[in-house]
Amino acid sequence: MGRRSPNLPAHETLHIYTRVSTAAQRDDGTSLVTQLEQGKAKAKQLGLKVKHWDEGGRSSHHEELAARPTLAALYQAITSGEVKHLFVYDQSRLSRNDNVASIFRYECNKQGVTLYTKDGRFDLSNPQDKFLKQILDGLSEFDNAIRAERTRLGKLNRTRAGYWHGGPPPFGYKLVDRRLCLESNEAKWVKRIFSEASSGKSPQKIKTMLDSNGVSPRRGGVWTIGSIAALLKNTHYSGRYRFQDAKSGETVTNVCPAIVDEQIWSAVQERRKRKNSRVLQQNATRHFYLLRDLMYCGHCGRPISGRQRQSKREQFYYCANKERDWAKNGGSASRWQRGTGCGMSRALNITLTDEIVFKAVLGVHQESHLLREEVKKRILGAKYEQEAATQQEIDETRAKIRRLEKQVAQTQDLLGIVDGKYDLKELSKKTYESRRGVITQALERLETEINNARLAVRGSEAEKRWVDWVGDYGKMIEGKRALSREQKKEYISGMVQRIDVRYVKASDEHELALHFRLPIVSDQYKRHNPQAKRKYSVRKGTQDLLLRIDKKALKNLGKVVAPEQNHNATVE
């Protein structure tokens, strides 16, 4: 609330209310000063003293009285009879909201308040003045609605054209020509945040990491748990974002520079979803479970629970449907009766299930042509889809590099000559800076060409040598077997989206439907025409694999038949 002078006699005082629509205008002060000066001029003309009510910067988003504390206090002063003369710069200073304006009209009329604006005087006890003020209030509200509609359509049209819709860009980005571009210093911390989150770090630990490294959020100060959680949900960082128009419901999807790759972003979302699905769990988990957070009952859809009691030699995954119903409804006569409630009437041995699922995931990974191609691409460090360059092309590129290196040497000599002439006062500062800028740009362009040519030669030679990427791929798979249990959990979560478990009573076995994140189950190579530029491509498989576990599995722990074309892996 603005500073006001002491209480003055109502009939001898002109109450001046000032407001601007933005904090920026408030800080600039020009509009506020103008409003106050005109109010003081009116007071001088009327021979009245002044009492100033300063709202400062409040936009049209704060039209309700509860969001305008100074206006609310002024209203109380009017209702108590302390105000008889009121000045506002124009009708919209009080409110563009018709409800608020009507309240003020009623109270001013009731209390015999005379309203003054830059356009004249309104005696609201006079029917003509009252009618005129109603018209002006309506025009003010209409003008506000038109401006809001213009702003809405402007945002929508900008987004349709691929531009940023307005407002500050997300942390990690800046605006260049009205489009989102990377802000390098912030972007590296966004990568770090997602890396920490994907490795299991909590928002609190991420907050500590950011604050201790002096990384400030856009608003300044320190990070909050809420701001980190909101950042981790932001799709911008995976290279896309959506804008939805609140009025029409139209949704526009745009692309922007990605800061983290899709796999990391998806892994973080999945981890968040799993955590949220357990947020209502009453008892803290004391034991480690490899698969519990991925498994769901195929009968009732509830998350699978786990129980480990060494004293009773209990170690199993099970559906806690009855337990939850008991806690919610107070139990039933058939609480422990087999065959009632959820169809998951038999539990799964934890050790057995963990081993079978891990081996199955590892087997799919090992046989996947799609993942093999991804590893090949990383190891070779070149566009392996294209045919390797011929030896003649490599020789020509090397010759080009030698020519460019000669031009670089000549350009560097020229730069030295220009520097020498400037030192000898043979060139003016303006001419020197101009010439040096041109030469430096030419030098940078030549060095870029050389680097690109060297990369092309290196990539071609790498393809011709054809590194033993298959061996490297095998080592990577073998290394998964030596992971810690926490790392295995992270690995399986990265490969598998969820596991639906069903108990088949007729055959007394469990069916585990593994839903992979990528279509890598039974994917295949597709050979192309020998004359084609690309010799082969990878045909996608499915994302589903069905495992069966029966009583024999206890005797054959670890023996998993490779997936067949029907995507079934049977444990015998």
Based on the fold, state whether residues 35 and 137 are members of the same structural domain.
yes
Taking the C-alpha atoms of residue 11 and residue 28, their distance in angstroms, rounded to an integer, is 33
CA 231 from centre of chain:
5
Same domain, 143 and 200: no
Cβ atoms 469, 380 nearer than 8 A: yes
Q: What is the DSSP letter of 65?
A: G
The amino acid sitting at 530 is P
Q: Is there a domain that residue 352 lies in?
A: no
How far apart, in Å, are the Cα atoms of 69 and each of 77, 103, 557? 12, 16, 72
DSSP per-residue codes, 322-352: HHHHHHHH---TTTT-TTSSSS--S-EEHHH
Q: Are 180 and 118 in a shared domain? A: no
β partners of residue 524: 539
Same domain? For 96 and 14 the reply is: yes
Q: What is the DSSP string of 221-263?
A: S---HHHHHHHHH-GGGGTEEEEE-TTT--EEEEE---SS-HH
Long-range contacts of range 249-256, CB-CB < 8 Å, 24 or more positions apart? 250/156, 252/156, 252/159, 252/160, 254/159, 254/162, 256/173, 256/179, 256/180
Residue among 11, 72, 78, 96 nearest 47 (CA): 11
pLDDT tens digits for 168-226? 899 999 988 888 899 989 999 999 999 888 877 888 889 888 888 888 888 888 888 88
Boundary (domain end) residue, out of 426, 455, 470 = 470
Residue 285: partners with Cβ closer than 8 Å, 6 or more residues away = 306
Domain final residue, candidates 426, 448, 470: 470
Rg (CA), the chain: 36
Count Cα neighbours of 136 within 13 Å in the Cβ-side half-sphere: 20
Taking the CA of residue 447 as centre, how many other CA atoms within 13 Å lie in the half-sphere pointing to its CB?
9
Same domain, 192 and 124: no
The neighbour count for residue 433, using CB atoms within 10 Å, is 12
Nearest to 294 by CA among 488, 562, 483, 558: 488
pLDDT digits (tens, 9 = 90+) for 398-447: 888 888 888 888 887 777 787 777 778 888 888 888 888 888 788 778 87
- Structural element, H or E, at residue 539: strand 536-539
Total structural domains within the chain: 3
The 3-class SS string of 364-378 reads HHHHCHHHHHHHHHH
Domain boundary among 413, 443, 470: 470
Specify the CATH number for the domain of residue 207: 3.90.1750.20
The two structure tokens encoding residue 435 = 């010439």
User: Is 192 a domain residue?
Assistant: yes
In a domain, 284, yes or no: no
In-domain check, residue 557: no
The verdict on residue 74 lying in a domain is yes
The reply to whether 132 and 198 lie within a common domain is no
Q: Give the integer Cα–Cα distance in Å for 1 and 18.
A: 11
User: Is 17 inside any structural domain?
Assistant: yes
Let me know whether 184 and 82 are in one domain: no
User: Could you tell me if residue 526 is inside a domain?
Assistant: no
Quote the CA–CA distance of 316 and 322 in Å, as a whole number.
16
Tokens of 358: 């891990």
34 and 147: one domain? yes
Question: Using CA of residue 454, residue 456, residue 460, residue 466, what is the dihedral sign?
Answer: positive
Q: pLDDT tens digits for the chain (572 residues)?
A: 444 445 667 788 999 998 887 654 544 445 788 889 999 999 998 999 999 998 887 654 455 666 778 888 888 888 888 999 999 887 666 666 666 777 777 778 778 888 888 877 776 565 655 555 565 565 566 666 667 777 777 777 887 887 888 788 999 999 888 888 999 899 999 999 998 888 778 888 898 888 888 888 888 888 888 889 899 988 889 888 888 887 777 888 888 888 888 778 888 887 777 676 555 454 555 788 889 888 999 888 888 888 888 777 788 898 887 655 544 444 444 444 444 557 788 888 998 999 999 999 999 988 888 877 776 665 554 444 444 456 677 778 888 888 888 888 888 777 778 777 777 888 888 888 888 888 878 877 887 787 677 766 655 554 444 344 555 666 777 878 888 888 788 788 878 889 999 998 888 899 999 999 888 899 887 776 766 666 667 888 899 999 988 766 555 543 333 333 333 333 22
Q: Which amino acid is at 80?
A: S
29, two tokens: 């002060």
134 with 253, same domain?
Answer: no
107 three-state secondary structure: helix
Secondary structure (3-state) at 158: helix
Burial of 489 by CB count in 10 Å (0-12 exposed, 13-18 middle, 19+ buried)?
Answer: buried
Does residue 498 form part of some domain? no
CA distance 158 to 35: 35
Q: Domain of 124: which CATH number? A: 3.40.50.1390
Q: On the CB side of 389, how many CA atoms lie within 13 Å of its CA?
A: 19
Q: What is the pTM of this model?
A: 0.41
| DSSP string for residues in 540-554 | --BSEEEEEE-GGGG
Do 516 and 544 contact (CB within 8 A), yes or no? yes
Q: Is 284 left (phi over 0), alpha (psi -120 to 50) or beta?
A: beta
Coil, strand or helix at 10: helix
- As a whole number of angstroms, the distance between CA 102 and CA 92 comes to 13
**Claim to verify: residue 148 and residue 189 sit in the same structural domain:** no
Sheet with 49-57, strands from edge to edge, namely 49-57, 13-20, 85-88, 114-117, 120-123
Q: Which residues sit opposite 363 in a β-bridge?
A: none
User: Which DSSP helix (H) or strand (E) runs through 408?
Assistant: helix 391-423
Residue 160 neighbours by CB under 8 Å, 6+ apart = 252
- Domain of residue 53, residue span: 10-152
Query: Do residue 38 and residue 144 come from a single domain?
Result: yes
Same domain? 34 vs 71: yes
